[in-house]
Structure 1
Amino acid sequence: MKEIKAFVRPNHVNELIEQLKDNGFENITISSAEGTGKFQDENAFVSQKFSVTDSPMAKIEMVVTKEKVNMVIGLISEYGKTLNPGDGIIYILNVEKTYRVKTGLENGEK
Structure 2
Amino acid sequence: MKEIKAYIREKRLIDVAENLKKENFCCFTVFQGEGVGDYTDPETEFPSLAFPFLHDKVVKIEIVCNKEEVDEIINIIKSHAHTGKRGDGLIYVSNVEQRIRIRDGKLGRQ
Partner of 2:101: 100
Partner of 2:51: 50
Give the conservation status (yes or no) of the 8 Å contact 1:44–1:53: no
**One-letter code of the match for 1:91?**
Y
3-state DSSP of counterpart to 1:30: strand
The range that moved more, 17-26 or 31-40, is 31-40
CA offsets 1:21-77 (integer angstroms, 9 cap, x no match): 111101110110111211232144333333522311111000011010010110000
TM-score, length-normalised on structure 1?
Answer: 0.90
Q: Which runs of 5+ in 1 are unaligned?
A: none
CA offsets 1:71-93 (integer angstroms, 9 cap, x no match): 01100000001111111100101
Partner of 1:27: 27
Cα distance in 2 for residues equivalent to 1:86 and 1:108: 34
Q: CA RMSD in A?
A: 1.6
Q: What are the equivalent positions in structure 2 for 1:1-80 lying under 5 Å apart?
A: 1-42=1-42, 43-80=44-81
- Structure 1 segments of 4+ aligned residues over 2 angstroms from their partners: 43-51
TM-score, length-normalised on structure 2?
Answer: 0.90
Q: Which runs of 5+ in 2 are unaligned?
A: none
Cα distance in 2 for residues equivalent to 1:35 and 1:15: 21
Give the conservation status (yes or no) of the 8 Å contact 2:32–2:58: yes
